[in-house]
Structure 1
Amino acid sequence: MLRLLILILLLANGGYFAWSHGHLREWGLAPVQEGEPQRMGQQLRPETLQILRVRPASPAPQPPVSEAAAPPVVVATAAAAATECLQSGVLDERQADAVRTAAAGLPQGSWVLESTPLPARWMVYMGRFEDQEVLDKKRAELRARKVDFDRPGGTLELGLSLGRFATEEAAKRELANLGEKGVRTARVIQERAETPGFTLRLAAVTEALRPQLDGLRGPLAGKPLRTCG
């Protein structure tokens, strides 16, 4: 069996040698030759080939931009001028009339007089004493009893205020408390009835407007302009 296999291999090798060297060409068995004539026959019309120089592509021209189609230009604007709201203390009718006259020269709409009625007020009051000597003696007595007091002001001078209150009931309660401390001659009076009042309000004061406010000092009667509450 082995000898048969070796014989077959020898015959196959001999057949391949004869085929590859063209010894079997007469019987139509030979490898295809790729000589120069065969290569020339495979070319596709070489005379038509042309060598072209490649030029770098230039950017496409941009169409002109009309003013209407131009993008909007953002212009930075200065920040709005800083403003401050100022208001006066409560003014009576006479002071309000004087302020109204003085403020007439300010820019229109820059100021307003707001109604701010003054509420009634009650006081626990001692006096009116005959003279300063009696007043000083009464002060000493109140200090000894550790009772606070103050000047009543106006036509109530040569007397003493032992407290001011928004209602009559509150003043009477305080009077009762003072009675327990030995205060016997005090009484409740109405210091002030409800009266009309006004407040000057300037909602947007700029640096340019501030110098013009100097003319209001006199009519404001010493009441300063403060930041709005």
Structure 2
Amino acid sequence: MLRGLLVLLVLANLGFFAWSRGWLAPGIAPPNQGQHEPQRLQAQVKPELVAVLPPKDANAAVVAARAAAAVCVETGPLAESELVTAEAELVAAQAPAGSWTREPAPLPPLWLVYAGRWPEPAARRAREADLRKLGLQPEVLTAPAELAPGLVISRHASKAEADAALEKLTSATPPLRGSRVAQLPLPAANTVLRLARADADLQARLRLRPGEVLGGGFRPCAGAPVVASASAPKP
């Protein structure tokens, strides 16, 4: 009895050893053995693209990948009184000294085809209804005080453009009446802080800074192409 159990135990161990070594394949698949499992190698996708680099070359590859992911970002417009605070936030985010510049912010359209002022809400609503009958889409102007409340019929980058737009509207059928060209004052916030090359790590740190301090947060520079963030390869 004991001899039979001993024989069975020996046979079971031999069978397990043969199975674990893959000697029974392909009829009986071997157990998973990490990197020794042939199925894992067969499932690789484009293994010829994988290269094992020595530590020195791997570190250089990481630096190159981070440099490739660097993009131009900016925040603003900021008033003069806000610039010092915002630059202190850049230092706190570990932006390299001298990596940012102060740039003049693009001016918004400051010339208006304008109707007003209309302090009385009822009169303003009536005038707005008249303008809509002409196919126009006026917007209510709430500042500055010398023009608000009034109605903006269109916005333009120059006085010449605004004059031409008003002339076209007044000579239309039916013509626009009771409107004029007006100029908005220059905005107090007229500077942007720009980082020409912010890598992925710096961008992540800047996203953690309070947006109200940094002019609403950093965004891609005006006119700069949107670049998808890249992950640095692991050494």
Which secondary structure does the structure 2 equivalent of 1:220 belong to?
A: coil
Moved over 6 A (4+): none
The equivalent of 2:151 in structure 1 is 160
Find out whether 1:133 has 2:122 as its counterpart.
Answer: yes
The alignment-based identity, stated in percent, is 27
Residue deviations 1:151-185 (CA, integer Å, cap 9, x gap):
32323332100111121121111111221242211
Corresponding residue number in structure 2 for 1:36:
none
1:122–1:171 CA contact under 8 A, matched in 2: yes
Q: Which residue of 2 aligns with 1:176?
A: 167
| Counterpart among 208, 214, 219 of residue 220 in structure 1 | 214
**1:190 and 2:179 matched:** no
Q: Could you tell me which residue of structure 1 aligns to residue 51 of structure 2?
A: none
Specify the structure having the higher radius of gyration (Cα): 1
- State the Cα distance separating 1:142 from its structure 2 match: 0.9
Q: Secondary structure at the match of 2:196?
A: strand
- Select the residue among 84, 91, 105 that pairs with 2:78: 91
Task: Give me the TM-score of the superposition, normalised by structure 2.
Answer: 0.56
- C-alpha contact (below 8 Å) 1:112/1:200 kept by paired residues: yes
Checking the alignment, whether the CA contact within 8 Å between 1:124 and 1:186 is kept in structure 2 is: yes
Aligned equivalents of 2:139, 2:109: Cα separation in 1: 19
Question: Which residue identity does 2:203 align to in structure 1?
Answer: R
RMSD: 2.9
Shift of 1:104: 3.3
1:108 aligns with 97
Residues 35-50 of structure 1: pairs in structure 2 closer than 5 A: none
1:13 corresponds in structure 2 to: none
Q: TM-score, normalised by structure 1?
A: 0.58
- Count residues with an aligned counterpart: 157
Alpha carbons of 1:224 and 1:185: their partners in 2 closer, same or farther (altered >3 Å)? farther
Matched-pair contact (CA < 8 Å) for 1:123–1:165: yes
Contact 1:118/1:196, CA 8 A, preserved across alignment: no
